[in-house]
Amino acid sequence: MAAKILAVTNQKGGVGKTTSSCNVAKELCSRNKRVLLVDNDPQGNQTKLIFGDDIPDEVFYVDERGKSRSGPANTFSLYEEGREVEPYPVSEYLSIFGTNKQLAGMNSEDVIEVGIPFKEKLTELAEQFDYIIIDCLPGWGTLLNSALLTSDYVLIPTELDGFAVDGIAQLYKTVGSVKKHLNPALQVLGIFANKVDGRRVQVQRHYKQDIRERFGDAMLEHEITSSVKVAEANALNQSVAEYNPTLTQTHQYQRLATEILERMEG
């Protein structure tokens, strides 16, 4: 059975897309699910989160002209017509297409010209995995549209503030446009609150209610609270569960992953 493909995105930056993608992916791997992570952000933060400063050379397997070659390769190679690629195996259940700033050049290309190869390659690779998670860049452009063109579902992490909620509204418009013109099967899987701060209860309750009123039952039940421990785990290139299995955020990501699975498989 082919993998379900999930784009993790919010057009506002800093809401925790990369941290959430990594933690959900590793939680699924802990349940013996085969997961492919695709770092679709030229900043390469997902790649850095997985490897730290010790990124294997194979992740950026290029020739003397700077073009990616066959073999373990980076996300850039997914957009290149005719290029045979395979992801880098991180562990028994987790693989990744890493990336770097080279990918930024793709964001102004025609979405059909480069998005179709991206979709075709990931669709072919879907036979090898249970889930493919695409960690998207903030903002607009070909990279985001290619991810939406390819995905079955969209997962939206958000902080509970006005700017982030406005970002959700903008993203819904983009999803609607891609659904209408490029990918009729695309669905918003859900929205979840991230970096929830116990010192701002009333304000956050207001925005949570605002999301429910504007986007209905898209709001997921489970949320991730803010903690310096999450940043500490990131600094060590670990998920929060790897860093400390007893953390509140470890249990929160476990429950969030279960809810995501229930929505995808239900």
pLDDT tens-digit series, residues 97-116: 998 888 888 988 999 999 99
Cα distances (angstroms) measured from residue 243 to each of 157, 199, 248:
22, 25, 12
Q: Phi then psi for 253, rounded to 5 degrees? A: -65, -35
82 and 67 in contact (C-beta within 8 Å)? no
Work out the angle at residue 165's Cα, subtended by the Cα atoms of residues 161 and 169, and round it to the nearest 5 degrees: 170
Reported pTM? 0.93
- In one-letter notation, the amino acid at residue 62 is V
Across the beta sheet with 153-158, the strand order is: 88-89, 94-97, 35-40, 131-136, 4-8, 153-158, 187-193
Q: Over 80: is that where the pLDDT of 1 sits? A: no
Average pLDDT score over residue span 70-82 = 77
Taking residues 74-95, what's their average pLDDT? Answer: 89
User: Where are the chain's structural domains?
Assistant: 4-265
Is residue 49's pLDDT more than 50? yes
144: left (phi over 0), alpha (psi -120 to 50) or beta: alpha
The domain 4-265 having CATH identifier 3.40.630.10: the answer here is no
User: How do residues 153-171 score in pLDDT, each as one tens digit?
Assistant: 999 999 988 787 788 888 9
* Residue 5: strand pairing partners: 132
